[in-house]
Every structure is written in C-alpha cells, then in structure tokens.
Amino acid sequence: MNIYVLLKKTFDTEEAISVSGNQIDESGAEFIINPYDEYAVEEAIQQRDKNGGTVTVVTIGDEDSEKQLRTALAMGADDAVLIDTSDDLDEGDQFTTAKILETFFEGKEADLILAGNVAIDEASGQVGPRLAERLNMPFITTIVKLDIEDGTAEIEKDVEGDLEKIEVSLPVLVTCQQGLNEPRYTSLPGIMKAKKKPLEQLELDDLDLDEDDVEAKTATISIFLPPKKQAGRILVGETGEQVKELVSLLSNEAKVI
C-alpha cells in the first residue's frame, strides 16, 4: 500500500501566544507535530505493518520543518517530503495548501492518505477534505478506528460523540481524531535510523507551480488577543453562604440563570 501522511508543524500546545505587528510572534516558540497528525503518523505505521507498503510523510513548510519530519521518520515512517515555500510565497490559505498538495499527488497513486482532523493553530479542518475532493477521492473525517481488508476500509467515525460505522473502498483520505491510537514515543535507535532516511526537498518550481496558481482566496487583516479577563471573584465565608452568594450573583449580576 502507498500510504501518505499530511503533517503540519504547529506551536507547542503549552506556548503562550503573543502578537506583534499584527502577527503571531513566533520568536523562541517551540514547534511540534500537530497533535492530530501524530495520530495520523502512528496509524500509517500500524497499517503498513499490517498490510505492507510504505509510509511517506509530506509537509508544506520551511527549512525548520525538517525537525518534525525527522521525528515522524524516527517513529517509523519510511520517506519524507518537505515542500519549502518560504522563498516563493509570503501568503497562503487553505486553498493554497490544498492546491500545492494536489499537484504533489498528481501521478502518485496513493491508496491511503491520512491527515489530522484540524491543525491546532488555524484549525479550519479544511485541508484534508479539500485535497480529497481535488484528487476525486472519498474522504472520512474524524475517524477513531480503521480496518483495511481486501481494498475496503471499515471505519468508525466520531460524530460529536456518536459513532458511525462506515464502509468505503480504497483509495480514501481520512482525518484522524483523538482515540484512534496512542502515538509511540521515538526511541534512540529510531532517531539514529531516521537521520539516514530519505528526505526529499521540493519547491514550487519542482511542481511546475507559479505563485499565481496558488494565490490565496482569503486574507487575514488582523490578529489580536482576547481582552484580558478581569480577575474573577473568589467568594468567601462559610460554604453555605458562598453558595447563596453565587446563586444570587448568577441570577442578579450575571443574569445567566
């Protein structure tokens, strides 16, 4: 099986966010593999080990994205592709990303593409379905179970807590939800091996794409932090009194009950 994983690097979930000059300040921030994409890498490896084939991890990013790709290789992926757009593009949106990926996948004959449910930074969840549609592939989002047999995928999809059992023939694109698996930690031998694994680097030119072909359809005009919350009120006194006060505040001051 030809298995592909779409991987995005994102801010570490614990990072505090600051804004400078209408942009998220990235200086000094730690980057990680988007947590949902870790489920995708893990699932890809497990499916390969069961069904044979290779796992290729693809990211659109900059030269620093090599770090997250090496981590995926250390987990057990076979190949990695870094599409570096930093020299060619200043702006992009989900259309841009999907368009670049579509071009990359031309002629690739993927059997299974795994993406994350959302990227935790911009969190649109668009990229997976957008790509599948361009490749004329069915897609199933937020999956929590995947069994492949004889070219058919039996899938369990999380629907806001309910579960749907779905059947679909390969090729298919799926997006991964928490609960699908437990991503493995990288081991020292894995990390050593990953250093020698192939990592292909591409730019837009290599995909025969121009800036105009991938021009974003949407634009961000400003970025701002939520207004600082005023310090909350910690109630005092006997528990019974606190509860009385709380109910009174909720109905008279906040007017929410």
Partner 1 sequence: MSEKILVIGELQQGVLRKVSYETIAAAKQINENVEILALVLGDGDLQQPAEEMIHYGADRVITVSHANLSNYTSEGYGQVIMEVMEDEKPSSIIMGHTSVGKDVTPKIASRLELGLISDAVAIEKEDDQVVFTRPIYSGKAFEKKVMKDDGLLFATIRPNNISALEPDSSRTGDIIAKEVDVKDLRTIVKEVIRKKTEGVDLMEAKIVIAGGRGVKSAEGFNALYELADLLGGAVGASRGACDADYCDYSLQIGQTGKVVTPDLYIAVGISGAIQHMAGMSNSKVIVAINSDEEANIFKMADYGIVGDLFEVLPLLIKEIKLEGALVS
CA–CA distance, 257 with 137 (Å, rounded to integer)? 48
CA–CA distance, 154 with 202 (Å, rounded to integer)? 34
**Residue 80 binds which entry of ligand FAD, partner 1, none, CB below 5-8 Å type-dependent:** none
Residues of span 80-99 touching ligand FAD by CB under 6 A: 85, 89, 91-94, 96-97
* 255 DSSP assignment: -
- Our CB check for ligand FAD shows the closer of 48 and 99 to be 99
103 binds ligand FAD (CB under 6 A): no
* Helical packing angle, 66-75 and 35-51, nearest 10°: 40
CB 41 within 8 A of CB 33: yes
**Residue 115 binds which entry of ligand FAD, partner 1, none, CB below 5-8 Å type-dependent:** ligand FAD
Binding test (CB under 6 A) with ligand FAD, winner from 75, 82, 119, 132: 119
**Residue 208 binds which entry of partner 1, ligand FAD, none, CB below 5-8 Å type-dependent:** none
Q: Token pair for residue 164?
A: 């749907």
Between the CA of residue 157 and those of 125, 164, 252, what are the distances in Å? 15, 5, 43
110 binds ligand FAD (CB under 6 A): no
Q: Examine residue 183 and say whether the peptide bond preceding it is cis (omega within 30 degrees of 0).
A: no
**Residue 185 binds which entry of partner 1, ligand FAD, none, CB below 5-8 Å type-dependent:** none
Q: Which residues of 126-153 are buried (b: 16+ CB within 10 A; e: fewer)?
A: bbbbbbbeebebbbbbbbbbbebeeeeb
Q: Token pair for residue 134?
A: 């361009």
Q: Which stretch binds partner 1 (CB under 8 A): 40-48, 74-82, 189-197, 243-251?
A: 243-251
Q: Token pair for residue 78?
A: 């076979």
For ligand FAD (CB under 6 A), the number of binding residues is 33
- Our CB check for partner 1 shows the closer of 155 and 204 to be 155
Residues of span 45-64 touching ligand FAD by CB under 6 A: 58-61
138 binds partner 1 (CB under 8 A): yes
Binding site for ligand FAD (CB under 6 A): 6-8, 13, 34-37, 58-61, 85, 89, 91-94, 96-97, 115-116, 118-119, 121-128, 220
